[in-house]
Amino acid sequence: MDFATFLQILDSTIRLATPLLLACLAGLYSERAGIFDIGLEGKMLAAAFLSAAIAFVTGSVWLGLLAGIGASLFLSAIHGIASITFRGNQLISGVAINFLASGLTVLIAQSWFAQGGRTPALTDGGRFSPIEFPFAEAILPVPVIGPVYEGLISGHTAIVYLALLMVPLSWYVLFRTRFGLRLRAVGENPAAVDTAGVNVIRLRFTAVAICGVLCGIAGAYLATALQAGFVKEMTAGRGYIALAALIFAKWRPWYALYACLLFGFLQAIALRFQNIDIGAFTVPVEFMDALPYILTVVILAGFVGKAIPPRAGGEPYVKER
């Protein structure tokens, strides 16, 4: 493998890891507050559809992004009301959101555009354009530094840089601010937080709303940046992979970045190399495509017991009278 090919794989890794990272951070905020969210997949899917639909109709990718965030927030509100207000089972609520999004996106897409459950292809202002950093072309001839700067650091869309920025920002918010301390405390011992005069319900709804915003951005990225429109089930299990990455990262932002980059790297390898020859044995393309999902199962099987979630996670809070 030459250096140029290696850079292309790393570039694809960053692009493919972006929606995983945003969804993983979304789950991080929610689960740190004690609300398990299996519905990351459904929120991303709904956001992908509505962002592509609105971007196509209006010709504005920013309106599409806002629409995608709105769709995800709507589903987050449903999950919050079901699991926080009515103290329902959080896992069942999340699964229901996934089924709801899976069916409604195709149904509405077919009703609006009559293209088999997809949206028309996005062009020009309907898609996010790459951002070229200053002097990227000028320093390209410089060995190593030039190709890395031009091909790996520069040339991504705004959402990619936003996702990377969210990692240190999330670390600071969760571990260096009063809000983050209270959020984490709500996920560990909500009764003690309530005794201190902090509104547990409000904090949990805030975490669910943050989760909705990040999932909305992740879904919009899939349809308006990574691809040029919405297709049926385009999230392809990324919400579940993000949950596995969250467990692997032990609910910490920096570890979440590393875990998502690992999944993104495996996807990039699968896309780049359809068949890999190892001596006399050829690794089939089907195995390469399945590799990220195999790793998800391995992580869930091997790390669930070792990674300790927030103690109050998944438990509805009932205020003592």
Q: Look at residue 275 in the predicted model and tell me its pLDDT.
A: 61
Task: Look at residue 304 and tell me whether its pLDDT is greater than 60.
Answer: no
Q: Look at residue 11 in the predicted model and tell me its pLDDT.
A: 93
**Confidence grade of residue 298 (pLDDT, cut at 50, 70, 90):** confident
Task: Look at residue 320 and tell me whether its pLDDT is greater than 70.
Answer: no
Tell me the per-residue pLDDT of 1-37, one tens digit each, with 9 for 90 and over. 678 888 999 999 999 999 999 999 999 999 999 999 9
**Confidence grade of residue 280 (pLDDT, cut at 50, 70, 90):** low
In terms of average pLDDT, the best of 31-35, 123-127, 303-307 is 31-35
Distance between alpha carbon 202 and the CA centroid of its chain, in Å?
24
What's the mean pLDDT in 77-99? 94
What's the mean pLDDT in 200-214? 96
The residue among 130 and 287 whose pLDDT is bigger is 130
Q: Look at residue 274 in the predicted model and tell me its pLDDT.
A: 64
Domain ranges of the chain: 3-130+147-303
- DSSP annotation of 125: G
| Coil, helix or strand at residue 117 | coil
Q: Percent of the chain, pLDDT > 70?
A: 94
Distance between alpha carbon 158 and the CA centroid of its chain, in Å?
15
Tell me the per-residue pLDDT of 153-178, one tens digit each, with 9 for 90 and over. 999 999 999 999 999 999 999 999 99
Q: How far apart are CA 125 and CA 217, in angstroms?
A: 17
Q: Look at residue 20 in the predicted model and tell me its pLDDT.
A: 96
Task: Look at residue 111 and tell me whether its pLDDT is greater than 80.
Answer: yes
Q: Is the pTM of this model over 0.85?
A: yes
Q: Look at residue 1 in the predicted model and tell me its pLDDT.
A: 62
From the candidate CATH numbers 3.30.70, 3.40.50, 3.10.310, 1.10.3470, the one assigned to the domain spanning 3-130+147-303: 1.10.3470
Burial bucket for residue 55 (CB in 10 Å: 0-12, 13-18, 19+) = buried
Q: Look at residue 156 in the predicted model and tell me its pLDDT.
A: 94
| Direct distance between the N- and C-terminal alpha carbons of the chain, in angstroms, rounded to an integer | 66
- Averaged confidence pLDDT in the chain: 90
Tell me the per-residue pLDDT of 36-82, one tens digit each, with 9 for 90 and over. 999 999 999 999 999 999 999 999 999 999 999 999 999 999 999 99
